[in-house]
Amino acid sequence: MTSPTTMNEPRHATVTLEPSKAMRRVGYGLSALVVLFLLMDVAMKLLALPIVLTSSAQLGYPGTPAMAHTLGLLLLVCTALYLYPRTAVLGAVLVTAFLGGTVATHLRVGNPLFTHTLFGVYLALFLWGGLWLRDAGLRGLFPWHR
C-alpha cells in the first residue's frame, strides 16, 4: 500500500502558465509589429491615398474613398479591440477574419502565393504568437508540448 502522502502528490510536474519576462517582452514586440503595420494600413485607408484606391480597383473592389474609409474604420475597430487586454482575443479573432478576406482576395485574382496571398497568414501568425506569448489564459487553451 502507498502512504497517504504519496497518493495526493501530483503525477505530473506542474506547469506554470504565467509568462516569463522574456516571453512577455517578445510577445509585446510581435504584437507591436503587427499593430504598427495595421495602423499604417488604417491610416492609408482613412486618408484614401491614391495607391489604396488603385489597388482596391485592381483587386475587384470599388476604388472609392467611401469603400476605403469603411475598410479603414472596420480594421481600426478590430485593432483597437486587440490592443485592449480584456478584449484582445476577440480582437485577434476579428483581425484574423479581416486578414482571411485579404488572403481570399489575393488568391482569387491570382497574385503570387508567398509574397501577396499568404501575407495575411504571416501577419496572423505574428498576431496570435504575440498574444500567446503574453497571455497565460490563451496558453492554457492552446498549450505547447515538447
The radius of gyration of the chain's CA atoms, rounded to the nearest angstrom, is 21
pLDDT score, position 13: 47
Domain ranges of the chain: 21-132
**Cα–Cα distance, 145 to 12 (Å, whole number):** 13
**Cα–Cα distance, 94 to 114 (Å, whole number):** 23
pLDDT tens track, the chain, 146 positions: 555 555 555 555 445 578 889 999 999 999 999 999 999 999 999 999 999 999 999 999 999 999 999 999 999 999 999 999 999 999 999 999 999 999 999 999 999 999 999 999 999 999 999 999 999 999 999 888 77
Contacts of 44 (CB under 8 A, 6+ apart): 51, 52, 72
**Cα–Cα distance, 127 to 83 (Å, whole number):** 11
**Cα–Cα distance, 107 to 2 (Å, whole number):** 62
Q: What is the pTM of this model?
A: 0.85
